[in-house]
């Protein structure tokens, strides 16, 4: 049973490395875009549309939530170790899942109720129910 936990932890670690890589790639992709003040006419309007709808159209928040959940899990494990609480890989995976699912759920709710109406203000073909 411990081998399956080890495999799961290794897969989570690989996904953490990929999530960090994808986050850095997205940050540099957005940072390399032209500033609004440098654009004119239709290009400026396209950039406003891109920026105002990025959070709604690109569900990339899972990566930062995954990274944060990993950090929170490591901190919780450190506190448990500090107080000499006996725990195993199963508890660590359960804590990670609880942190990830709860924060991701809040973010999905926010995306649906805030970013969707914001994007609909610039993309008038987006139907808001």
User: Would the CA dihedral through 114, 119, 120, 126 be positive or negative?
Assistant: negative
With respect to residue 128, please indicate whether it lies within any of the assigned structural domains.
no
**What is the model's pLDDT at position 129?**
58
Tell me the average pLDDT across 24-41: 90
Tell me the average pLDDT across 38-42: 92
pLDDT (tens digit per residue) in 41-80: 999 999 988 888 888 787 778 898 999 999 999 999 999 9
With respect to residue 42, please indicate whether it lies within any of the assigned structural domains.
yes
Number of structural domains the chain divides into: 1
With respect to residue 112, please indicate whether it lies within any of the assigned structural domains.
yes
State pTM to two decimals.
0.76
User: Would the CA dihedral through 90, 100, 65, 50 be positive or negative?
Assistant: positive
- Give the percent of the chain with pLDDT over 70: 95
**String of DSSP letters for 26-72:** HHHHHHTSPPGGG--HHHHHHHHHHHHHHHHH---HHHHHHHHHHHH
């Amino acid at each position: 049973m411990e081998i399956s936990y080890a495999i799961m932890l290794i897969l989570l670690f690989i996904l953490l490395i990929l999530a960090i890589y994808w986050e850095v790639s997205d940050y540099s992709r957005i940072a390399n875009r032209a500033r609004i003040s440098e654009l004119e006419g239709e290009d400026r309007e396209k950039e406003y549309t891109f920026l105002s709808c990025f959070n709604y159209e690109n569900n990339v928040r899972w990566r930062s939530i995954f990274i944060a959940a990993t950090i929170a899990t490591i901190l919780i494990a450190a506190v448990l170790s500090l107080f000499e609480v006996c725990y195993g890989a199963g508890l660590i995976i359960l804590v990670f899942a609880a942190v990830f699912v709860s924060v991701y759920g809040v973010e999905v709710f926010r995306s649906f109720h805030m970013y969707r109406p914001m994007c609909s203000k610039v993309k008038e073909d987006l139907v808001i129910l």
